[in-house]
Amino acid sequence: MTGPIYCETGHPWLGMAEPVNTITNIFILLAAYLAYRRIRAAKIGMPADLVILLILLTVTGIGSFLWHGLRQSWALRLDALPGLFFLFVFAGIWLCRFTNWFVGILGGIALAAASFGSIWLFRHFAGGIPGTPPAFMFIPAFVVIAAAGSGLVIATANKYGTGTALRGVVVLICAVAAAVFRSIDLMMCAIVPFGTHFLWHILLATAAYLGITMLVEMKKPPAA
């Protein structure tokens, strides 16, 4: 490691480097379990798209637990890659609820390309600004994702009504708040000894659960 990525308390729990960040991954796994229960209760079977999201969310929780507990590069990949796939697959599935699978897949790929492209542009033009926190390089991607999500919320309101769309709004609010707390983590170390990264876990878990349950509602046939 070349420098701190998260606040360090200096008091590992059971030999783990980051006790608070490690423990709060239980919220991600809990979100996956509760989402699974919600799918079963909806009596829509176990659609393949939702199963994929459950698997990705579960692997993300396990990978994040291992990364924060062990701080090994392989664990970081197991944390980050499934989480990224969950985000873009979720966006593609959300889009395909209004269109079809082909458009949904293209939309998810386009969102990924736009997100990574915005990060590259930011690093190219502003990456050399002294004092810029490393986490800030992700802000352009957060903006792109929030804009795409806003468009999906509007489309949801038009086709499925304001009730379902409001759930999408809460998903976006939780995701944006999570991004904020992740970005300011190091700046908050002097105030909160263990930083604010744990809120990234909790809020993203909340967003993931609400997002999956929203997709469940959109999958259910309309009431007669």
Tally of domains in the chain: 1
Question: How many other C-beta atoms can be found within 10 angstroms of the C-beta atom of residue 53?
Answer: 23
pLDDT one-digit tens code per residue, 70-100: 888 999 999 999 999 999 999 999 999 999 9
Residue 17 pLDDT:
41
The 3-class SS string of 153-170 reads HHHHHHHHCHHHHHHHHH
Per-residue pLDDT reduced to its tens digit, 173-217 = 999 999 999 888 877 777 777 788 899 999 999 999 999 999 999
Any domain includes 28: yes
- Give the pLDDT score at 131: 63
Host domain of residue 161: 19-218
Indicate which CATH number applies to the domain containing 109.
Answer: 1.20.1070
201 lies in some domain: yes
Predicted pLDDT at 175: 95
- Residue 172 falls inside a structural domain: yes
pLDDT in tens, 140-166: 999 999 999 999 999 999 999 999 999
On whether residue 11 sits in a domain, the answer given is: no
- The token pair that represents 25 in the structure block: 């991954």
Task: Tell me if 164 is assigned to some domain.
Answer: yes
**Three-point CA angle 31, 32, 37, nearest 5°:** 95
Q: Tell me if 13 is assigned to some domain.
A: no
| Average pLDDT of the chain to the nearest whole number | 88
Per DSSP, 149 falls in state: H
Q: Which of the two residues, 6 and 70, has the higher pLDDT score?
A: 70
CA proximity to 114, closest of 137, 85, 84, 148: 148
User: What backbone phi and psi angles, to 5 degrees, belong to 6?
Assistant: -130, 165
Q: Residue 6 falls within a domain, yes or no?
A: no
Q: Per the domain annotation, does 43 fall within a domain?
A: yes
